[in-house]
Amino acid sequence: MNEWRNRYSKQLTWALCLAGAVLLLLFLGDQLAGKKAARIVQTLISGVLVGGVYGLVALGIVVINKASGVFNFAHGWMMVVGGMIFWSFFTVSEISIPGALLLATATMLMIMTTAGYRALLQRRNLLTWLGGSLLLTVLMTIGGSDWQWLHALTGTAAGAILTGLAVERFAIRPLIGQPLFTAVLMTLAIAEVLHGITQLVWGTVELNLPIFVDPSTNSRFKPIRLDAFREALGGVAIIRVELVIAFVLAILAFIGFILFFRYTSVGLAMRATSEDQQLAQAVGLRVRVILAITWATAAFLASIAGVLQGGAVGLSLNISYVALRVFPAVLLGGLESISGALLGGIIIGIVEQFGTLINSSEQVGTNLAPYVVLMLALIIRPDGLFGEKRIERI
């Protein structure tokens, strides 16, 4: 029996997937029979757009897991911290120079001491630290409110890198050699620490992040109406411009990371480390430094996703729960698959939107449907759509 199952496991998996798809289509056909085609098309497009941002969130989780094997439960709160830092720089008319200098100095200190604090004993590194701190401070404070985008982008990048490096340095690195489950539990503790810091600094009230506004009217963009397809769809499909912009920016960030990951020396070192840490160390790569860069990169991706999500739906502590809804996307696409992160995010986005359409309750779409998909994915294909089975020699 076991031999037969091993021989035909792949065919059995696809047969179950096909059967599940047929049953799902029959169910959806019955549930959507009374819905207009325009509403269905609108739901599908919205699902893809929301899923693009989910894919970016999933990418940050996959990057950490691929490099270190740690499933980062603190990723959602990294999103919140990044979004809050962006809001702090974007919505104020005058940036505090001492505050900006402190952030820049701390960030550059963490960067320069990634391989060890002795690096600062070298004159070249010391000058780089001071010069980099000065440059970041200037970028975060130069000009007035007309330079708010430069201030916010620089401040968010510095804050995200500082957060990622600090988490790796003081929480993850001391656990090297300990069971992997210990590091996973540590990410839960980190999440609660970031939660507490966020509440202390920014409070619990939802904040308005006006990044998706029409410059001519200083108000949100009007929705896109697909009037050209009114007759074919039996109505007008309406698409939110905020979702379109967030999707485009998320895809651009995704493409930028892929180019960085594949064609830069640091990216190639990250790939080598993710494949085999011992072999990477044997050929002279500084695995500890590369892991620190990986955490900083993941925190930066989380900050981008937090800004996009906060600009589209409002900036609040609830953004952290987006990462929980993205966990099914990560497992569906594959824990170590970068392309699977995007596909999984889009699938979960579509499932959420159709779940809300069918039941007319947002709770069903966001709190139930993704986890039903997760359960089915773990039962049918535990390694994900693009995941690879691990073969261990015993």
Rg (CA), the chain: 23
CA angle, residues 162, 166, 170, in degrees to nearest 5: 170
Kind and range of the H or E element at 288?
helix 287-313
Cα–chain center distance at 273: 21
Q: What is the per-residue pLDDT across 258-303, written as a single tens digit (0 to 9) for each?
A: 888 888 888 888 877 777 777 777 777 788 888 899 999 999 999 9
CA angle, residues 309, 94, 199, in degrees to nearest 5: 45
Q: What is the per-residue pLDDT across 63-88, written as a single tens digit (0 to 9) for each?
A: 998 888 889 999 999 999 999 999 99
386 pLDDT exceeds 90?
Answer: no
Q: What is the per-residue pLDDT across 186-222, written as a single tens digit (0 to 9) for each?
A: 999 999 999 999 999 999 888 988 888 877 676 777 8
Total-model pTM: 0.87
Average pLDDT value over all residues in the chain: 83
pLDDT value for 28: 54
Number of Cβ within 10 Å of residue 165's Cβ equals 22
381 pLDDT exceeds 60?
Answer: yes
For residue 18, give Cα distances in angstroms to 14, 15, 23, 55.
6, 5, 9, 24
- 23 burial class (0-12, 13-18, 19+ CB within 10 angstroms)? exposed
3-state secondary structure of 238: strand
- Among the ranges given (91-95, 185-189, 326-330), the one the predictor scored with the smallest mean pLDDT: 91-95
pLDDT band at 312 (very low <50, low <70, confident <90, very high): confident
pLDDT band at 140 (very low <50, low <70, confident <90, very high): very high
Of the candidates 251, 366, 239, the one whose C-alpha atom is nearest the C-alpha of residue 308 is 251
pLDDT band at 372 (very low <50, low <70, confident <90, very high): confident
CA dihedral 227, 229, 232, 236 (to 10 degrees): -40
pLDDT value for 5: 52
